[in-house]
A = this chain, B = another copy of it.
């Protein structure tokens, strides 16, 4: 293509053409789309997790900080994307990519997403989302129902009420958690005679008015990092996120919680929320939600549950009981882009009490007027896309029993994998799966034998070496590109709180078979044996 062709695009008539509807099945755009779909399918069919190219080499292709002065043809640019972007993307949908919460998606979401993109509704106000607003309110109602199971009149009364929101749909769990804690903070430091509330007057005036020295958020030491971020953003301070000890199953210890609440009281620090976790990010455990609820009720503290990942378990009648007590929470975060199998960018929070969100209500002159049904009056975000539609569609196409099957098989697969690890002489299961997440590490049989009899100092020395080994092995496995597990650092009871690096897997992808899990263990075992340096050092330490 020559410069004349290119410069031809930069006139207003040709620009207008890109904004108008392509005609028929033979249009260039339709052809590009077909080719693109084919290429994407090729990519998704590949067994490889990621083509291993050094990051610096990929960065080299994205190094130009200038906005182009010459236009590209769509066809030309699509090729460019296939070669430079798609080819080097991570295949998060691969059945052997079991390291993170990103999974394969139902295929019908690809065509249905078109509706969302083409209609380009803005959910902040009903003027730009007429049918999408009722739809999103229904989705929030359904998710509220999933958690709280209120009766029919409840939903008929509140779901479409202009003055209320049963929750907020947002881009993800972090915004959902911030929203929940924002509401909790504003409820606690509410306006009253002579005080405009923390919303109007800020944190300093709030504590002064209510006579507290400080405020705090309590969560187990396994809490997600978004909670500290929330405390930072909300002006509470990261140090005021009090980490409560866990028991040997990584669940919040109730005695420790009670003790901490006593201590805060003595120091005149008013807790603004206790956060229970339904599916910790690193070990997949669920806190004793019913017991936390009882403590919160006694102390009149907002009880928030971070079920960003584990919330989908409520779809399973068989496993719902694992989250018992969640229905007593004041607010619950659930990510639809995790185990509800919706594309990235779909989170939400629901509130038990339909009045709770009034504590963060806001208005403007040109939208969000009082009495309007604009969802934006209660959301942290402003302009928002119609993502709720995809959750709506999946709930209708998969249905609750379909989701139940997906959840059940993921939990059962985790139990299968755990057994595989336990039965293998060269691996150690570090945390048992409660939902579909578990952690483990490669520990050759002779090392395991030694660890059983070693003294504390020897154990620490061996674990320290194993930690480096785990990092090296995880990296090598990732670079090989056949499979991917993530890694994290835990402080397990069995190792006296020493920091232990572990592999972490999430078995959410329905396409991950038992055979794939077998092969991942075999691959890791073989890779492990190849690390002469670590194997020799371990042999030396275990003599």
Q: Decide: A383 and B74 in contact? CB cutoff 8 A.
A: no
Give Cα distance in the complex from A87 to B135, angstroms: 13
Further 8 A-B residue pairs, CB within 8 A, beyond A65-B152, A86-B119, A345-B384: A10-B402, A21-B107, A59-B137, A81-B115, A85-B135, A85-B389, A89-B132, A172-B382
Q: Decide: B344 and A345 in contact? CB cutoff 8 A.
A: no
A164 at the interface (CB under 8 A from B): no
Please give the distance in Å from A300's CB to the nearest CB on chain B. 22
Give Cα distance in the complex from A121 to B91, angstroms: 8
Whether A405 touches B10, Cβ cut-off 8 Å, given contacts A88-B131, A393-B77, is yes
Q: Decide: B399 and A71 in contact? CB cutoff 8 A.
A: yes
A220 at the interface (CB under 8 A from B): no
- Stretch binding the partner chain, chosen from A197-205, A248-256, A257-265, A421-429: A197-205
Give Cα distance in the complex from A341 to B230, angstroms: 31
A40 at the interface (CB under 8 A from B): yes
- Stretch binding the partner chain, chosen from A361-369, A458-466, A525-533: A361-369
Q: Decide: B107 and A120 in contact? CB cutoff 8 A.
A: no
Please give the distance in Å from A309's CB to the nearest CB on chain B. 11
Please give the distance in Å from A481's CB to the nearest CB on chain B. 11
Please give the distance in Å from A65's CB to the nearest CB on chain B. 4
Q: Decide: A385 and B345 in contact? CB cutoff 8 A.
A: yes
A397 CB contacts on chain B under 8 angstroms: 18, 71-74, 77
A146 at the interface (CB under 8 A from B): yes
Q: Decide: A117 and B201 in contact? CB cutoff 8 A.
A: no
A489 at the interface (CB under 8 A from B): yes
Q: Which residue of B lies closest to A501 (CB)?
A: B365
Q: Decide: B19 and A106 in contact? CB cutoff 8 A.
A: yes
Q: Decide: B70 and A399 in contact? CB cutoff 8 A.
A: yes
Give Cα distance in the complex from A363 to B155, angstroms: 40
Q: Decide: B174 and A121 in contact? CB cutoff 8 A.
A: no
Whether A132 touches B85, Cβ cut-off 8 Å, given contacts A16-B511, A19-B106, is yes
A516 at the interface (CB under 8 A from B): no
Q: Mark A7-31, 1 if CB is under 8 A from B, else 0.
A: 0011110011011111001000100
Q: Decide: A107 and B19 in contact? CB cutoff 8 A.
A: yes
A134 CB contacts on chain B under 8 angstroms: 55, 58-59, 61-62
Instruction: Report copies per complex.
Output: 2
A239 at the interface (CB under 8 A from B): yes
Residue among A22, A402, A484 having the largest count of chain B Cβ atoms under 10 Å: A402
A165 at the interface (CB under 8 A from B): no
Instruction: Tell which of B29, B36, B236 touches A107, judged by Cβ atoms closer than 8 Å.
Output: B29
Q: Decide: A343 and B99 in contact? CB cutoff 8 A.
A: no
Please give the distance in Å from A343's CB to the nearest CB on chain B. 5
For chain A, the count of residues having a C-beta within 8 Å of the partner chain is 182
Whether A511 touches B19, Cβ cut-off 8 Å, given contacts A58-B131, A138-B62, A199-B238, is yes
A9 CB contacts on chain B under 8 angstroms: 399, 402
Please give the distance in Å from A34's CB to the nearest CB on chain B. 7
Segment 335-377 of A: residues with Cβ below 8 Å from B = 335, 337, 343-345, 347, 360, 362-368, 373
Instruction: Tell which of B129, B135, B238, B315 touches A62, judged by Cβ atoms closer than 8 Å.
Output: B135
Q: Decide: A44 and B92 in contact? CB cutoff 8 A.
A: no
Please give the distance in Å from A180's CB to the nearest CB on chain B. 12
Q: Decide: A281 and B366 in contact? CB cutoff 8 A.
A: yes
Give Cα distance in the complex from A86 to B129, angstroms: 10
A211 at the interface (CB under 8 A from B): no
A542 at the interface (CB under 8 A from B): no
Q: Could you write out 12 A-B pairs with CB less than 8 Å apart?
A: A59-B134, A67-B395, A71-B396, A72-B396, A99-B127, A127-B478, A200-B238, A201-B240, A203-B237, A226-B382, A337-B383, A345-B345
Give Cα distance in the complex from A88 to B29, angstroms: 27
Residue among A20, A50, A204 having the largest count of chain B Cβ atoms under 10 Å: A204
A232 at the interface (CB under 8 A from B): yes
Rank and list the top 3 A-B pairs by shortest CB-CB distance, nearest first. Answer: A235-B235, A202-B237, A366-B488
Q: Decide: B238 and A235 in contact? CB cutoff 8 A.
A: no
